[in-house]
Structure 1
Amino acid sequence: MELLLAIFLAVLTVFVAMAFYYEHPKAEIPHGFSQRQKLYIFHYILNFGFGLAKFLEKVGITSEVHFLRALMDGIPPLKDQRLFIKDLRFEKVKVRLYQPKISTTGQRRGILYFHGGVGQFGSIRAYERTCRYLAKKSNSVVVSVGYRLAPEHPFPTQFEDCLTATIHFMRTAQDYGVDPSRIIICGDSSGGTLTAAVAQALVNRRDLPKLRAQILIYPFLQCVDFNLPSYQQNEGVPILLKKRTLALGLKYLNKDLSVMEAIFKGSHIPEDLQLKYQKWVNPDYIPHEFKTRGYKPIAINPFSEELYTLFKLVFDPVFSPLLAEDSVIAQLPETFILTCEFDVLRDDGLLYKKRLEDHGIKVTWCHLQEGFHGIVFLALCSGASTFRSGNKGLEKIVNFLRLM
């Protein structure tokens, strides 16, 4: 029996590995990346995980999304006696509160953390190490927000939960020893999208204190142009491949993946919106040094009214915060933006940085020259999965927080 099980697992492994070898035959890791071999290995392990998830769904064992969630939740938290940790609810939203035990004079800063995962993966548990690290290193009260996930809870539930948790914390901050004028919101990847959207939603609220700052860690910010220099240069760079970016986004919105190529070519955008958004989403605004690895302008395909009708919700600033009106951008708080050279989303961050600075918003920018998408999250995973550049990013974030 044990032999049969071993044979079955071996055959399963081979089939899954072969399937994903042909789907992603080669990772494109640029020369000059000092930890190339480690990234290659991580890339193929990740692809194997995606492949196994698809296989298990096809044979009816579990859904792809639930398997991937379980993998993320499997990262064990590090034990720590220096923090009070408590699970709470802010209205109906699950949160986990981290408070340093060390005594302090006066009130602390408060940080709300919105995890990444394209609105479908990630959790309080998966980001336990990140939130503990920020609480300890910056001597802050951290609130990890366990917003509900798609597809069980469709977009924009994730934004609504994050906004609800933020408002609740702003109103009750003093109950947790937090100065209401020193509240910062922070998130990575799609959590960075949520951070930007929540900050925008709060600019006209006169019944709440102003946010002290927002921290955007390699955020997704627009779906107008998937052919910016960073998308072209990093199309096959792990871990967020260009096709994977759009595929995950379409699954988040519960849309058919068959439209991917048409969206890549811009057929979902009417001409009047193209003209409007060119003021904000334009490769001409990307500094020249970020085009040296290659960039070729791509002609826009003819507009499809049907495609626009299906996807016009993606132009809502809640989904694409870079498309917010100038009157909103001009009121945003001080901002920290982290970008990575080898990330398809790099130019989203660069364009948002420009918009903020054009309106006089103070921006602290950290660019990881050897960074790729997800590197900050991986920095707190133990052993072989860590990358030096991720540690540098964490240090920059903590240094920024200490000034708030």
Structure 2
Amino acid sequence: MELLSALFLVILTFLVVTAFYHKHLMAEIPPGFIQRKKLCFYHYLLNFGFVLAKTSEKLGLASEIHVIRTIMNTVPPLKDKHLFIKDVRFEKIKVRIYQPKIPTTGQRRGVLYFHGGVGQFGSIRAYERTCCYYARKSDSVIVSVGYRLAPEYPYPTQFEDCLAATIHFMRTAEDYGVDPTRVITCGDSSGGTLAAAVAQAMVNRKDLPKLRAQILIYPFLQAVDFNLPSYQQNKTFPILTREQILLLGLKYLNKDVTLLNVLFEGAHIPEDFQLKYQKWLSPDNIPEEFKPRGYKPGKIIHPLSDELHALTMPTFDPVFSPLIAEDTVIAQLPEAFILTCEFDVLRDDGLLYKKRLEDHGIRVTWCHLEQGFHGIVFLAPLGRIVSFQSGNKGIKQIIDFLKSI
């Protein structure tokens, strides 16, 4: 009887906490968002996973990162009868190649896919359904790159692996029925960072064909200004908050998380850097229709100590912040597809990069999801019950873009 009473109290406590959390969360979602209950449920599950991971680490059962990786890998793999799927290595890097079985008269386009996960989690397995979907729907050869993860392999190993895989694939593209002049880098979230950084690193290669395009799906592109309109408007919006992205980014760089407030306030930006980057990162470059929802211009704090500057220097590397690459690099980039979401802290990174590219004459196909949030496209291939209408719209436009290449 005592056991049943204890069990009842546990269940009751869980339901009360869940109800309170649900009420609080719903208040964070703007009234205009259509599929509110589904988003709330998904965010609850996501946060439950993070709490479980933290608890596991505190109890000494498994590290937080290991638990998150395990949870992500619970997405069931997909055996697609329309595709040849095989695991190979590009030098030391694991990749999985998805090739359509339908015969073709010529060579196909090739897509190097870099998964998200802030360089610390995510995997080929977790993105199996995503890559199968792109291969099948666009009749493309998809190469999912299993780059090594931090903290076991510190930054910038992730970029180095993606670049090495890209170079290897472009040299051997014809072995997989791919036209080496139709190779595209693609990634979501931090995978979008990697796709943009690899595209930049390839512009001066004379021994290989030029990349045909880059597809950046709600990418993280700069670690200079965390007070842009989208960071203010969506700082507590479900899935990815401003605090979460900064904490994960600091862990990725193996930096002390106590730097969080420094980054929030912009106190990590030297005055000469601020003057240089202002023309690229100014909120004035963001269309006015994106500003009304709770934006207040921020102030940069100066001066900056030499010690703090040294600690934050990696954030100014174009590998980590592709948006602040030099004009000479930006001007040589291939055309781009950029997807942004209205309810995403990273929205303005995409908007600012779009403008930088267009200012240099680079063609940009832009897809903005007015009902979108961070991670929504990842859910699209997982089925109707899990996916959101806006995410389905986004992935369709990505497929249409691929077919146009």
Q: For 2:82 and 2:328, locate their aligned partners in 1 and report how far apart those are by CA, in whole Å.
A: 43
Q: Corresponding residue for 1:96? A: 96
What SS does the corresponding residue of 1:31 show, helix, strand or coil?
Answer: coil
1:160-215 CA deviation, whole Å, 9 max, x = no partner? 00000000000000001000111011000000000000000000000001001000
CA shift for structure 1 position 380: 1.7
Asked if 1:287 corresponds to 2:287, the answer is yes
Q: Corresponding residue for 2:338? A: 337
Q: For 1:40 and 1:225, locate their aligned partners in 2 and report how far apart those are by CA, in whole Å.
A: 28
What SS does the corresponding residue of 1:301 show, helix, strand or coil?
Answer: coil
Identity %: 72
User: Does structure 2 retain, via aligned residues, the 8 Å contact 1:27–1:236?
Assistant: no
Q: For 2:384 and 2:138, locate their aligned partners in 1 and report how far apart those are by CA, in whole Å.
A: 24
What SS does the corresponding residue of 2:230 show, helix, strand or coil?
Answer: helix
Q: Corresponding residue for 1:254? A: 254
Q: Corresponding residue for 2:152? A: 152
CA shift for structure 1 position 8: 12
CA shift for structure 1 position 77: 2.0
> Aligned residue pairs: how many?
399
CA shift for structure 1 position 310: 0.4
Name the amino acid aligned to 1:350: L
Give the TM-score normalised by the residue count of structure 1: 0.95
Asked if 1:195 corresponds to 2:195, the answer is yes
Q: For 1:232 and 1:153, locate their aligned partners in 2 and report how far apart those are by CA, in whole Å.
A: 32
Name the amino acid aligned to 2:320: F
Q: For 1:8 and 1:133, locate their aligned partners in 2 and report how far apart those are by CA, in whole Å.
A: 44
Q: For 1:307 and 1:73, locate their aligned partners in 2 and report how far apart those are by CA, in whole Å.
A: 37
CA shift for structure 1 position 62: 0.5
Name the amino acid aligned to 2:322: P
Indicate how the Cα distance of structure 1 residues 9 and 387 shifts in structure 2: closer, same or farther if over 3 A, else same: farther
Q: Corresponding residue for 1:162? A: 162
CA shift for structure 1 position 80: 1.4
Q: For 1:276 and 1:8, locate their aligned partners in 2 and report how far apart those are by CA, in whole Å.
A: 61
Q: Corresponding residue for 1:46? A: 46
What SS does the corresponding residue of 1:198 show, helix, strand or coil?
Answer: helix
1:45-71 CA deviation, whole Å, 9 max, x = no partner? 111111111001000111000000001
Q: Corresponding residue for 1:171? A: 171
Q: Corresponding residue for 2:119? A: 119
Name the amino acid aligned to 1:395: K
Q: How does 1:364-375 map to 2 (within 5 A)?
A: 364-375=365-376
Name the amino acid aligned to 2:312: F
User: Does structure 2 retain, via aligned residues, the 8 Å contact 1:27–1:238?
Assistant: no
Q: Corresponding residue for 1:401? A: 402
Q: For 2:10 and 2:310, locate their aligned partners in 1 and report how far apart those are by CA, in whole Å.
A: 46
Of 242-251 and 74-83, deviating more is: 74-83
Q: For 1:197 and 1:116, locate their aligned partners in 2 and report how far apart those are by CA, in whole Å.
A: 14
Q: For 2:38 and 2:339, locate their aligned partners in 1 and report how far apart those are by CA, in whole Å.
A: 22
What SS does the corresponding residue of 1:97 show, helix, strand or coil?
Answer: strand
User: Does structure 1 retain, via aligned residues, the 8 Å contact 2:116–2:187?
Assistant: yes
Could you tell me which runs of 5 or more consecutive residues in structure 1 were left unpaired when the two chains were aligned: none
Q: For 2:7 and 2:346, locate their aligned partners in 1 and report how far apart those are by CA, in whole Å.
A: 42
Q: Corresponding residue for 1:204? A: 204
Q: For 2:286 and 2:166, locate their aligned partners in 1 and report how far apart those are by CA, in whole Å.
A: 32
Q: For 2:166 and 2:130, locate their aligned partners in 1 and report how far apart those are by CA, in whole Å.
A: 19
Q: Corresponding residue for 2:271? A: 271
Q: For 2:161 and 2:129, locate their aligned partners in 1 and report how far apart those are by CA, in whole Å.
A: 22
Q: Corresponding residue for 2:388? A: 387
CA shift for structure 1 position 298: 1.3
User: Does structure 1 retain, via aligned residues, the 8 Å contact 2:270–2:302?
Assistant: no
What SS does the corresponding residue of 1:89 show, helix, strand or coil?
Answer: strand
Give the TM-score normalised by the residue count of structure 2: 0.94
User: Does structure 1 retain, via aligned residues, the 8 Å contact 2:271–2:302?
Assistant: no
Name the amino acid aligned to 1:251: K
Q: For 2:127 and 2:271, locate their aligned partners in 1 and report how far apart those are by CA, in whole Å.
A: 41
Q: Corresponding residue for 1:312? A: 313
Alpha carbon RMSD of aligned pairs, Å? 2.2
What SS does the corresponding residue of 1:380 show, helix, strand or coil?
Answer: helix
User: Does structure 2 retain, via aligned residues, the 8 Å contact 1:266–1:303?
Assistant: no
Indicate how the Cα distance of structure 1 residues 8 and 169 shifts in structure 2: closer, same or farther if over 3 A, else same: farther
1:310-339 CA deviation, whole Å, 9 max, x = no partner? 010110000000010000000000100000
Q: For 1:252 and 1:46, locate their aligned partners in 2 and report how far apart those are by CA, in whole Å.
A: 20
CA shift for structure 1 position 270: 0.5
Q: For 1:385 and 1:257, locate their aligned partners in 2 and report how far apart those are by CA, in whole Å.
A: 33
What SS does the corresponding residue of 1:379 show, helix, strand or coil?
Answer: helix
1:123-170 CA deviation, whole Å, 9 max, x = no partner? 000000000000000101110000000000000000000000000000
Q: Corresponding residue for 1:223? A: 223
